[in-house]
Amino acid sequence: MFDKILIANRGEIALRVIRACHELGVEAVAVHSEADAQAPHVREADEAIAIGPAPSAESYLVGERIIEAALVTGAQAIHPGYGFLSERAWFARAVREAGLVFIGPPAEAIEAMGSKTAARQLMVDAGVPVVPGTAQPLRDADEARALAARYGYPVLLKASAGGGGKGMRVVRSDAEMASALESAQGESRKAFGDDSVYVEKYIEGPRHVEIQVLGDRHGTMLHLGERECSVQRRHQKMIEEAPSVAVDAALRARMGATAVDAARAAGYENAGTCEFLLDRDGAYYFLEMNTRIQVEHPVTELVTGIDLVQWQLRIAAGEPLPFAQGDIAPRGWAMECRITSEDFAQGFLPSTGTIGWLRLPSGPGVRWDGGIEQGSEISLYYDPMLAKLIVHAPTRELAVARMHRALRELEIEGIETTRDFHLRVLEDEEFRRGDISIQWLEARLPSLLAARPPYSGVRAAVIAAALIAERDRGTPSVASTVAPAAISSADAWRIAARRDAMRGA
């Protein structure tokens, strides 16, 4: 095992990797921008190196400076986390050329999976099912119409260089084709400097189901089952779970074997994820491979009992995987809610400010992977994801109840967050039935917004009670002054006690 590694990231994932290091007896070196000098990941690490100003282009994305920081501190390897430099083949190669270990797949595997059309061709050759369609750029609308006739409407125009949902257009008839092609090409040219667009069958109402793979340097490649990530807004995942209500043991084995084939075809090593669309008939299609640790990896850790980040380090250090495919089966149900600094009542507008109060959930089956604390400054420089709240329970129904309970315990003040949005989703009948697809959330948003405001937290209720008591200058009973829908009787005595304490102060 390594003695010391450097973590080329910030926020919750940097802390997650530091925890894995300390459990393995490895020293962790943090890097940070000027804006992050006081951040929790800097304090938790054994050493920290400043790498530049707040904008990521001048700090977390400057590969040479990060490699230099690893060399001067004597780190033997670099963990890239997710985002930033994690899927840049040139960075993985530069790390290797500096005599360090990149904790992830080989640069060649990142490259092989990096281009949508090249990856698609590689998968077709490996016998992996992809969405019916072409890999060649379209010449004109006539060719696109002829292909649409072959696959049947609706079809999806996709930018070859695509990413982040850009350059995609759903087309439902010949009449729409010419203008859709023109706008997809225009958007792709603007975003990627390349206007090649290809055509794919558009799958109606599928689920996003992805398979975690883990492969060592000795030829073992295993899958760790699926994650259901259909609750998405603008192609951004919001809630993930493992397992999926739509996947039984037989389908899991088939999709898992497909993911292992895909990973082998790419010459993969370490942890990776194959993303699939799963249609209503149980047919599935490869979308892309993410060549890094995923945000939602904890749900897989909780149901399999396998620490993915520790294994990333162990595999990179040359250890063989000690378990076999037959040893791995999901136990219970895990769910993750992404807590972001966004105001869902205002179209998920990013929210900035200082976290003035933070109360974290705890108790049975609750895990908090966070990168914030009281006093943290939330700016627009970085991703709005503050933390992930993850729960594990014996069944999906109990996991939903546990997540709801944990979200009620969570209080964040000073910025808007998605906490209340998650409470609304967890109270939604369709979600509770698991009746979801990748289009579900956007279609359901209006009714989620109109739903009864969820429980707002003990501290908010205490403040409300104190304000009302002050206004009335009396000693009103808590039950009659605080909005009864917002609090339970169990909270009432706590509020009364806190109110009495406040009055005494």
CB of 163 to ligand ADP, least distance (A): 4
Q: Of the candidates 2, 202, 268, 333, which one interacts with ligand ADP according to CB under 6 A?
A: 202
User: 122-141 mask for ligand ADP (x: CB under 6 A)?
Assistant: ---------x----------
Please answer whether residues 93 and 107 qualify as being in contact, where contact means their C-beta atoms are separated by less than 8 angstroms: yes
Is 292 catalytic? The answer is yes
Nearer to ligand ADP, 21 or 263 (CB): 263
Tokens of 313: 């380090």
Pick the stretch among 200-208, 413-421, 426-434, 490-498 that binds ligand ADP (CB under 6 A). Answer: 200-208
Residue with tokens 């090409």: 185
CB of 487 to ligand ADP, least distance (A): 38
User: 393-432 mask for ligand ADP (x: CB under 6 A)?
Assistant: ----------------------------------------
Pick the stretch among 53-61, 118-126, 134-142, 197-205 that binds ligand ADP (CB under 6 A). Answer: 197-205
CB of 55 to ligand ADP, least distance (A): 24
CB of 397 to ligand ADP, least distance (A): 26
The count of other CB atoms within 10 Å of the CB of residue 96 is 13
Tell me the C-alpha distance between 172 and 155, whole Å: 7
Nearer to ligand ADP, 104 or 206 (CB): 206
Site for ligand ADP in 228-257 (CB under 6 A): 235
Query: For residue 356, what is the DSSP state?
Result: -
- The residue sitting closest to ligand ADP, measured at its beta carbon, is 203
Residue with tokens 């969820």: 454
Residue 199 near ligand ADP by CB under 6 A: no
Tell me the C-alpha distance between 19 and 405, whole Å: 26
| Phi then psi dihedrals of residue 250, to 5 deg | -70, -45
Q: List helix spans (H) across 284-418.
A: 297-304, 308-316, 396-409
CB of 289 to ligand ADP, least distance (A): 10
Sign of the alpha-carbon dihedral angle for 293, 297, 298, 303: negative
Residue 182, amino acid = E
Candidate list 207, 227, 292, 499, residue with the active-site label: 292
Long-range contacts of 178-181 (CB under 8 A, 24+ apart): 178/141, 181/138, 181/140, 181/141, 181/144, 181/157
Site for ligand ADP in 425-464 (CB under 6 A): 438
Residue 296 near ligand ADP by CB under 6 A: no
Please answer whether residues 105 and 311 qualify as being in contact, where contact means their C-beta atoms are separated by less than 8 angstroms: no
CB of 138 to ligand ADP, least distance (A): 15
Residue 269 near ligand ADP by CB under 6 A: no
User: 157-196 mask for ligand ADP (x: CB under 6 A)?
Assistant: -----xxxx-------------------------------
**DSSP per residue over 110-160, as a string?**
HHHHHSHHHHHHHHHHTT--B-SB-SSPP--HHHHHHHHHHH-SSEEEEET
Q: Of 272, 262, 222, 211, whose CA–CA distance to 82 is shortest?
A: 272
Total number of residues that touch ligand ADP (CB under 6 A): 16
Residue 288 near ligand ADP by CB under 6 A: yes
Residues at the site binding ligand ADP, with contacts judged by CB under 6 A = 131, 156, 162-165, 200, 202-203, 206, 208, 235, 277, 287-288, 438
Catalogue the active-site residues: 292
